Amino acid sequence: MHRLGCTGKRQYASPEAAEAALSAMWSKCRPGARLPTRKYPCLYGDHWHITSSPQPPLSIREDPAA
């Protein structure tokens, strides 16, 4: 089954899960590494993603927690 939007992206069931994933990555980071910096709710399903982009992807909703 093909689903638009988040093929191949890691999905998180809640903003808390996304935050935990970010924290885990930061705790292991090397100097200069480019790491995900923010979470955002997916447009295509009831879950969250994380991204290293400073700007949200096109037509993404704003993070309601921001």
Return residues touching Zn ion (CB under 5 A): 6, 42, 44
Nearer to Zn ion, 6 or 22 (CB): 6
Minimum CB separation from Zn ion for residue 15, in Å?
Answer: 13
Nearer to Zn ion, 26 or 44 (CB): 44
Nearer to Zn ion, 21 or 42 (CB): 42
- Does residue 15 contact residue 65 with C-beta atoms inside 8 Å? yes
